[in-house]
Amino acid sequence: MKPVLTAADLERLPEGGEVTVTRETLITPLARDEAERRGITLRIVSSHEREGSGVASGAPEQSEESGRAVAIGADHGGFELKEQLKGYLRDWGYKALDLGTDSTAAVDYPDFAEAVANAVSRGEARLGVVVDSSGIGSSIAANKVAGARAALCYDRATARSSREHNDANVLSLGAKLISLEAAREILAIWLSTPFAGGRHQRRVDKIRSIEEHGTKKQ
């Protein structure tokens, strides 16, 4: 999988600093803007040069989901963004499992959110992405599926927190509320952020417990 450099990776660098990345690194538009704004130099080298120099790349470590399938689905309001995100997933080395819709003709978002959440719950995909106009409805629908933990994310902080603290396995995006560049940045951070475990594991376990109790009552 190709490494990805996001604006979040530049936050720890001082103004006027330098970060070394390989030619294979995908640099998000927001990362380029952040580097220009803060005078950070992006030094691009070959993989061989980086290994020989001992200089660490500013790109995040490849995620443990590298090479696994990511299920993605959208209603008509999220169709165009879905198509763009599919391309990014493939560029980054993921297998995009497209579960529809296939046009801008009006459809119902719960159908596609359920399909993505089921794919994740059944293990057909390690992670999932759902898109509609606001992202709200799809996140609600996906969370009705046992085993799915869908998070509506709208910036870098929510993307990172949902994975690091909540072990979210479905990302929900609102196509009409964020730009394509922001969606790409959010997706890149979300995919590359691992679950922190520790005290957060106890809390995720309690979420699972609530889910199990609710299932038993049905």
- Examine the residue annotation and report whether 213 is marked as an active-site residue of this protein: no
Beta bridge partners of 71: 97, 128
Scanning 16-175, the segments in alpha helix (DSSP H) are 29-38, 47-53, 79-91, 109-121, 136-142, 156-164
Catalytic residue among 48, 76, 165, 200: 165
**Cα 128 to Cα 148: distance, rounded to the nearest angstrom:** 9
Residue 102 CB neighbour total at 10 angstroms: 11
Amino acid identity of residue 135, one-letter, is G
SS3 percent helix, strand, coil of the chain, rounded to 5, is 45, 20, 40
| 124, 71 contact by CB (below 8 A) | yes
Q: Please report how the helices 156-164 and 180-192 are oriented relative to each other, as an axis angle in degrees rounded to 10.
A: 20
Token pair belonging to 134: 């606001």
Q: Which residues are catalytic?
A: 165
